[in-house]
């Protein structure tokens, strides 16, 4: 799916008690744990913490300012991990905080950031049967641009 960044991007509205920060290695274990939870529910898997952290932090497209972390009183509650190529690699919201607007706020934050970097659009991939995620992405202006077969 793709979001055209020449269009107006609304301001993100954050739920009460949530603050935004960016990734740093002290948050690695909590971010990894949330990624594991998200992938268990949505399919796929995440490598063990040490391998995940090493791959993540050394990826050529890694920029900590493009990994948006939402924190609440209990810790890391949502993550939007983006690459420098204007690509959203992961978006995960903890079940305790779903349906509060966190996913939307993180996406809008990412869009604004990429607009400031003078990108023309932002892309992501989503499984065709993940209708809930697709509705969220469409609600923030993303559109399907290409379908790909999922390797079995």
Higher pLDDT, 40 or 41: 40
Residue 14 has pLDDT above 70, yes or no: yes
Mean pLDDT of the chain: 91
Distance CA 46, CA 125 (A): 17
CA angle, residues 131, 132, 135, in degrees to nearest 5: 85
Q: For 86-105, give the secondary structure using H, E and C.
A: CEEEEEEECHHHCCCCHHHH
Nearest to 78 by CA among 67, 66, 87: 67
**Model confidence at 49: pLDDT above 90:** yes
pLDDT single digits (tens) 58-83? 999 999 999 999 999 999 999 999 99
pLDDT per position as a tens digit, 91-142: 999 999 999 999 999 999 999 999 999 999 999 998 888 888 899 999 999 9
CA atoms of 51 and 144, how far apart (whole Å): 32
Residue 45: per-residue pLDDT: 78
Higher pLDDT, 42 or 66: 66
* Residue 79 near residue 32 (C-beta atoms within 8 A): no
Domains (range + CATH), the chain: 2-139 (3.40.630.30)
Nearest of 44, 61, 45, 31 to residue 123 by alpha carbon? 61
């Amino acid at each position: 799916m793709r979001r055209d960044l020449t269009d107006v991007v609304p301001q993100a509205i954050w739920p009460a008690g949530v603050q935004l920060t960016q990734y740093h290695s002290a948050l690695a274990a909590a971010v990894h744990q949330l990624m594991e939870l998200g992938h268990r529910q949505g399919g796929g898997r995440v490598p063990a913490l040490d391998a995940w952290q090493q791959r993540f932090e050394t990826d050529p497209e890694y920029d900590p300012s493009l990994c948006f972390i939402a924190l609440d009183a209990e810790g890391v509650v949502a993550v939007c991990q983006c690459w420098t190529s204007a690509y959203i690699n992961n978006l995960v919201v903890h079940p305790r905080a779903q349906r509060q607007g966190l996913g939307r706020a993180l996406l809008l934050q990412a869009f604004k950031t990429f607009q400031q970097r003078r990108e023309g659009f932002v892309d992501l991939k989503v499984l065709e049967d993940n209708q809930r995620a697709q509705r969220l992405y469409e609600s923030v202006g993303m559109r399907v641009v290409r379908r790909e077969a999922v390797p079995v």
